[in-house]
Amino acid sequence: MAANRTAKSIATRQRFVDEALRLFKERGYESTSMAQIAAAADSSRANLYLYFNSKSQIIRARMTEIEAEVAELYEVLDGMPAHTPEALREWLGAARGMWLRYATEFEAVNQAMAIDPDVLEEWLGLIRRVSSAHAALHLDDATEDERTEREVHMATLMMSLERNFYFLYVRGHKEREELILASLARQWAQMFDD
């Protein structure tokens, strides 16, 4: 009986997240209300508030759900035997695949960051956690300042990657895709040459 309630609770929570993301994509983050999310999930606002106190909490929950996959992508980068522009261009293909899988989430995060500081803080925290875990940044003979500088460099490259993917795949400027991806691969390779 308890297992059934837990499974039902998990399914209800996921339905709220899924419907919120669908509405954010259709109407925009700011224009979507908690009441609309509850209605779209065939539930009540009271039930929604048992799971989430705000739209930003829904977005942050989804960010937590996908963080492991984002971290895994950068672990692959860390484990590459060589960080040549060619190898990094291939890695960017994997990054593109992940980004396209979560394009709705990334777009909702972008919209939410513009108006909800806690979403911005969570996004920056995710970037800090992923970049600080990157072993290639922490050279044994580097000073703390050098490590911090490389970590910040990685974080800015991660943010640039997300913005460029948004430009290419959400805004529909794919005519420059190869040029942009080649440029990104060179930028990433340069970080590893330092």
Q: Are residues 150 and 76 in the same domain?
A: yes
pLDDT of residue 139: 56
Q: What is the CATH number of the domain that holds 14?
A: 1.10.10.60
Euclidean distance between CA atoms 155 and 159, whole angstroms: 6
| Residue 194 reports pLDDT greater than 70 | no
**Total domain count for the chain?**
2
User: Do both 12 and 101 map to the same domain?
Assistant: no
The yes-or-no verdict on residue 48 having pLDDT over 90 is: yes
Among 149, 143, 150, residue whose Cα is nearest residue 78: 150
Distance CA 1, CA 101 (A): 35
pLDDT value for 84: 92
**Residues 65 and 31 placed together within one structural domain of the fold:** no
Domain hosting residue 38, numbered range: 1-53
24 and 119 assigned to the same domain: no
pTM as predicted: 0.82
**Residue scoring higher pLDDT (162 or 133):** 162
* Residue 23 and residue 104 in one domain: no
pLDDT of residue 52 exceeding 90: yes
Tokens of 119: 């979403």
pLDDT (0 to 100) of residue 171: 80
Residue 94 to residue 96: CA distance in whole angstroms:
5
Q: Would you state the pLDDT for residue 69?
A: 92
- Co-location of 130 and 47 in the same domain: no
CATH number for the domain spanning 98: value is: 1.10.357
